[in-house]
Amino acid sequence: MNVPLLDLKAQYATIKDEIDAAVAEVFATQHFIGGPQVAGLEAEAAAYCGCPAAVGVSSGTDALLVSLMDAGIGRGDEVITSPYTFFATAGSIWRAGARPVFADIDPATFNLDPAAVAAAVTPLTRAIMPVHLYGQMADMEPLQAIAAQHGLLVIEDACQAIGAEYKGRRAGSIGDYGCFSFFPSKNLGGAGDGGLVSCRDAARAKRVSLLRNHGAEPKYYHSVIGGNFRLDALQAAVVSVKLPHLDDWSEARARNAARYDRLLTESGVVAKGAVAVPRVVQSRHIFNQYVIRVPRRDELRAFLGAQGVASEIYYPVPLHLQACFADLGYHPGDFPESERAARETLALPIYPELSDAQAEYVVARIAAFGR
């Protein structure tokens, strides 16, 4: 049996007519940049996230960058974030001209440990950038309290967490900015690159929408320097078709996660300490990834691969140890939980259309490895 990490063809088959009609409509108008599809998606996504306003942008990475630009964060400033995340989180801080300052993660959730964040605050700190890794929100209340105490902004990297909830509040609605990605492998994926910034304050969203188009208003008059961070009409049209299906897909992912939890536990590998299943501590986890901990991770991954089961490592090198950040002066051992996570984590196929037989096969192979 073959179990891929993600099966986008299975998803497309269920919505092909709707997608094809939406794409045909954009082609019929030949209006490819901005326009009614983008404005429509912005309104729908803001409502979905529980925010007064949202701005479509060119990618999740650009959502992070344009939020930092709007916040006026740059040279001489520090932004505290996790070293255990996709590169774009810290890369965007660097590109804005600021310094990424890392704080270690809570090993139970892989998200920022608020106590570590509090200890990392300096007089140069301007913002905290929590990441809602794998689809579960970071512990926002203590992070918001630290931000309030020191007058910091909070920029949520919600790229893996659209629709995730913390005490009933949606990702992107608690911090000052929420950054989302429509990369095809996210729970809400486009037909290419795309992203979105949600704002708790509509005036900020207005400024972000200026920055996304070179700060021009009116056309050819620039009061601020922005960039080309625009969302294509085609991407907006595709994402708008998918948004009404998102809750069904995220619920299917959560059901798949519960099934893995049960099958792995029944197989005995959990009791043996060979595998640890993910912990759900927040009110809604959307399972962009289902990530287990395995002490013999690299051997298991190779074994599964040979048996037709795809898996992935998110992420093998924590950001404080990336070659490009050597100048930041971090060393191995600085963030032990992030380094341990980088050695032990393995993401299993969790996409909504995963069948019972596939899940059972994955767990049977893991159990065979553990014997």
Ligand X SMILES: *Cc1c(COP(=O)(O)O)cnc(C)c1O
Give me the residues that bind ligand X (CB under 6 A), please.
59-61, 85-86, 88-89, 131, 157, 159-160, 181, 183, 193, 195
Element (H or E) spanning 125, and its range? strand 125-129
Give min distance, CB of 160 to ligand X, in A.
Answer: 4
What per-residue string of b and e applies to 54-83 under the rule 16 or more CB within 10 Å gives b? Answer: bbbbbbbbbbbbbbbbbbebeeebbbbbbb
Give min distance, CB of 246 to ligand X, in A.
Answer: 16
Residue number, 111 or 267, with CB nearest to ligand X: 111
Residue number, 59 or 198, with CB nearest to ligand X: 59
Report residue 220 as tokens. Answer: 């050819």
Residue number, 208 or 366, with CB nearest to ligand X: 208
Residue number, 155 or 210, with CB nearest to ligand X: 155
Give min distance, CB of 67 to ligand X, in A.
Answer: 12
Alpha helices in the chain, H assignment, sequence order: 8-29, 36-49, 60-70, 88-95, 114-120, 140-150, 202-211, 233-242, 246-267, 297-306, 336-344, 356-370
Give min distance, CB of 195 to ligand X, in A.
Answer: 5
End-to-end CA distance of the chain, in Å?
A: 20
Give min distance, CB of 163 to ligand X, in A.
Answer: 15
| DSSP assignment string, 146-210 | HHHHHT-EEEEE-TT-TT-EETTEETTSSSSEEEEE--TTSSS--SS--EEEEESSHHHHHHHHH
Give min distance, CB of 164 to ligand X, in A.
Answer: 12
Q: CA-to-CA distance for 82 and 103, rounded, in angstroms?
A: 6
Closest residue to ligand X using C-beta atoms: 60
Residue number, 144 or 185, with CB nearest to ligand X: 185
Residue number, 3 or 88, with CB nearest to ligand X: 88
